[in-house]
Structure formats: structure tokens, C-alpha cells
Amino acid sequence: MAKARPADCRDHALAFTPDSRALTVAAADGIHGWDLRTGRATPSFTADGLTQVWPGGGGAFLVATGPHRLVVLRTAHPQVTVLSRRIDADDWDDIAFDRTAGAVRYLNGSATVVRSLALGTAPAAPWQEPTAYRAELSDDGRVLARSVETGGERRVQVLDTRVGRAGRVVFEPPAMPCPRTESCAGLMALSGDGRYLATGLNPYAEGQGPPRDRTRITVWDLAHRRVHATVVIGAVPGGSLAVDGLALDTHGRTLLVYRSVARPVVEVWDVDRHQRVRTVRSVREADSVTAGSEGVRLALRSDGAALVTQEGLVADLRAGRMEPRVLGEDLISAAAYGPDGSRLAVGDVLGRVTLWDGAARARLGVLDATTSDPTTDATGGVTALAFSPDGGTLAVAGAGGTLHLWDLASQTLLGTALPTPGDDIRALAFAPDGTLHASGAHVSVLRYDLRPDRLIGEVCERAGSGLSEAAWKTYLPDLPYRRTC
């Protein structure tokens, strides 16, 4: 257990919570805390170069600083940052966490300038239990499906994300108890229009449970809260019943069943007829076979003609051909197609995103926030991706709690990282008006209002006025003057 040493007791290297029940220390290897009533260590944040710590938000948050660096953490859950910035400032004179305004303010070393970092509404989002292991948003972000575990049972919850209803559970299928095996894969897929949900529970570890010869996948009609169809999956050649991933097309008419066996298989099922209409096998054995409690993530093109798996398999469903491909700079962690299917984005475990054409044949570029944004730390593996409705912007979430926006035409970042709740983001989706929806492990619904008119208004409010004619001539001499605010 970390210990506070006399050398650590510098100004602002230690901080008490407002109720004096906990102590936090900025040490050489990060931020450590103790519950003074029990003497037990509280969750810590591992990082080098942090030398001062400041309480904020009534003890709910911590602001830690060091040379050229500032991070905002949730006191109870500091593992993922709310905000992390690298800032060109030699000295910090004082820090204030303004929760009402959603900002962190600090003085420069000479105490002559107050600077502010906007946090928005992300830190105020309610923290929820239990943890969501998997989440999917409808194409417009209005419907959220999340997989949680309570009392040893896997449950799928469907939530409404609309204003005034955000976070309200509107449907919960019966719990899926795991048979007497070591563990189970909770399978889930939401149709693009948010009207249908496919669920299943597939044991992937051998145990003492009764022998089975079928795996059942249930497709739910969410509008009427009832079973729409039940698809019964049999064994593949060799006897395996493994079902490792599911996908539904936009309107829930077609169910894709992925089976991560030695030679992977995608089965195409007609939901209304309860009938398998096509089986697509990989042309060769996969480089890896995946099994896990969240299943294998699948990305389905909007026209239903192509599918990409988390293992790097690309399936041409019309031609009936699937093959393993090198799609990322490292192991794949997320993938998403653009709204018209003309582009594919593939994220890897090192935080990079590789762009491809819709056929995954021509590589269009590599996006790396770590090298492109000098104000941010390492982003961690990509956890979620989403294209804007016009396909021109890509939202990228990282395991370090980061959320970036990329302009795809220029392949450059749009500003710095957006503030997050200090939570791992599991799913992203843009609404038609440009609002970005995010869903995390503990914060189910979060919105970022990215509408251009609102952003322009916010910039004008902060600046106090637009460019004067003199400033316009200096910075935009080749363009005719027009009022910006």
C-alpha cells in the first residue's frame, strides 16, 4: 500500500475532503487516497509528473496538476479521467473547481491571468451501478440497449435517451441465468432503427450442465414489448454450438450470427421466416478465435451486404465470401461503417483509427489522437466509433476516457478532446441534428450538442464580439468582410 512520506508534504501535495474523512496525496507515481475512518486506501490514479492536488465539487472531484499538465478525476472513481490537458504554463498559483459553471479555473504563476477549462455537463452526469459490459445505440441515438449483470444474472436493459426521458429503462427482457458452466457470453444486437433487439446467452466454457443441441436467439419487438421471433441455432460441422456475435440489419429483418470457430462462419437468418438463408464461411482458418463475456463485436454495413468482425474478418455477404484481413495498425477493438457504406473506420488497442473504403480494400488514412493532439495524454484502445449523418465527422472514444472528433476530409482533429464523465464509453451515435450521444459503463446517457449554430453562439458569447473589419483584413485579407457574431 502506498504511504505518504515527509517529502510528499509540499504545498497542495495533500488535500482533505470537505468533511475531513478522506485524505488525498500527490505522490511520484500518481494520486493516492485514504479513508481516515478505516485507514484503508481508496482507489488511486496512476500517472507520473503530478505534484499537486486540489479538491473540488464538494469533494466529488479532484484536480491534480504538475508541470504542463492538469487532470480532473472523480474522487470515488479516479481510474478514468474526466479531463486531461497538457498546458503550456510554467507555474500554477491556485486552482478552483467551479461545478456550477462546469469549469476549472486557475491562476498563472504571477497571479495576473485567470484561465478556464470548460467541462460542460459531463461531470454532473449521474454515476450508476451496475456496470454495463456492452452497449449499443440506434443509428439516431434515441434508443440504447445495454448488458448488465445483477445478482449473478445477465440482463439486457433498453433505455430511452430523449430529453426528459434520458436514462429511463423502458423494457427489460427476462433475465438469462447462466447454466452450470464456468461463464457465459451475453449476446445482444440492436437494429439500426431501434425497433428490434436480439438477445441470447451462450455458455462458452465446458461444465457439468445438461447437454444441449440448440442455442436460442430471441428477437424482441421493442414497440410492443413482446417476442417477435425465436431463431434456433444448431451445431456447426465438428459439433460446436458456439455463437459468439450477433447483428441485426437496419429494420430487424435479417439476423447475422457469427461463430468464432477454427474456420469462422456467419449465418444469415430471415427473422420473419425463422429460416437460415445463407451460410458464409471463411476461406481459411482465422488467426485467432475469441470467446468472452461480451461476445465478439460486429460492424454491419447499412445495406447489409458486408460485415466486419472484431477479429479482423471481412465478409462479403452477397458474394458469400469471408476472409481474415489486416485492417488496423494493431489488434482491432472497434469498427463502424459510414452512413452510406462508402467508408469503414477500424480502431485498434493502441488508440489509432484506420480508414478504409466501403469494400475494405483501399486504405484511406490513419488517425492518431496521441500524435495529433498535443494537449492530450495517451487515449488507450478505441472503445467506440460513430460517423456523423453526413459522413464528414468521426467520433472516436478511447479507453482512457477520451472522446475526440475528426474531420475526415482533412483527417485532422476538430479541437481538443471533449470532456467525459470519467467513464469508459461503450457506444456512440449521432442524431440527425448533429447531437452526439454517448453511453458508458456507469453513465448510461450523455449528450454533446454539436449543432453549428449553437457552437457559433457559444464562441461569440465567450469572445464578446466577432472579428472587426481591421482584424478581418489582417487574418482573412482575401475574403470579403462579413459579421461573424
pLDDT of residue 289: 52
Neighbouring residues of 369: CB distance < 8 A, sequence distance ≥ 6: 351, 376, 379, 396, 398, 402, 404, 413, 417
C-alpha cell at 4: 505518504
Distant-in-sequence contacts of 363-369, Cβ < 8 A, 24+ apart: 365/411, 366/329, 367/394, 367/396, 367/406, 367/411, 369/396, 369/398, 369/402, 369/404, 369/413, 369/417
3-state class (DSSP) for residue 337: strand
* Judgement on whether residues 225 and 350 belong to the same structural domain of the protein: no
**Gap between the Cα atoms of 360 and 336, Å rounded:** 12
pLDDT of residue 290: 54
* Judgement on whether residues 45 and 93 belong to the same structural domain of the protein: yes
* Judgement on whether residues 197 and 312 belong to the same structural domain of the protein: yes
Q: Report the pLDDT averaged over residues 315-342.
A: 93
pLDDT of residue 135: 95
Who wins on pLDDT, 228 or 378? 228
User: Which range among 5-19, 185-199, 236-250 has the greatest average pLDDT?
Assistant: 185-199
* CATH number where 203 lies: 2.130.10.10
* Judgement on whether residues 352 and 276 belong to the same structural domain of the protein: no
In this prediction, residue 421 has a pLDDT band, given cuts at 50, 70 and 90, of: confident
Could you tell me what percent of the chain has a pLDDT over 90?
39
Among left, alpha and beta (phi > 0; psi -120 to 50; other), residue 295 is left
**Domain ends where: 124, 140, 161?**
124
* Judgement on whether residues 332 and 310 belong to the same structural domain of the protein: no
In this prediction, residue 205 has a pLDDT band, given cuts at 50, 70 and 90, of: very low
* Judgement on whether residues 185 and 47 belong to the same structural domain of the protein: no
C-alpha cell at 47: 500517472
Provide the Cα torsion 335, 341, 343, 349; round to 10°.
Answer: 0
* Judgement on whether residues 220 and 341 belong to the same structural domain of the protein: no
- Let me know if 419 is exposed, middle or buried by CB neighbors in 10 A (0-12, 13-18, 19+): buried
Q: Is residue 349 part of a domain?
A: yes
Q: Is residue 131 part of a domain?
A: no
| Number of domains within the chain | 4
Encode pLDDT of 373-389 as tens digits. 656 666 679 999 999 99
**Distances from the Cα of 79 to the Cα of 88, 269, 331, angstroms:** 25, 42, 23
Strands 306-309 and 143-150, how do they pair? Answer: unpaired
Neighbouring residues of 453: CB distance < 8 A, sequence distance ≥ 6: none
Q: What are phi and psi of 183, to 5 degrees?
A: -165, 170
Average pLDDT, the chain: 84
* Judgement on whether residues 26 and 96 belong to the same structural domain of the protein: yes
Side-chain half-sphere of 299: how many Cα atoms within 13 Å?
A: 29
Q: Report the pLDDT averaged over residues 385-396.
A: 96
Who wins on pLDDT, 58 or 397? 397
Q: Which of 124-133, 237-246, 396-405, 438-447 has the lowest mean pLDDT?
A: 237-246
Q: Report the pLDDT averaged over residues 135-146.
A: 96
Using only the alpha carbons of the chain, give its radius of gyration: 25
2 with 41: CB under 8 angstroms?
yes
**Gap between the Cα atoms of 156 and 200, Å rounded:** 10
**Gap between the Cα atoms of 369 and 364, Å rounded:** 17
Sheet holding 298-300, edge to edge: 298-300, 306-309, 313-316, 321-324
Structural domain of 476: 451-485
* Judgement on whether residues 185 and 313 belong to the same structural domain of the protein: yes
pLDDT over 90 at 57, yes or no: no
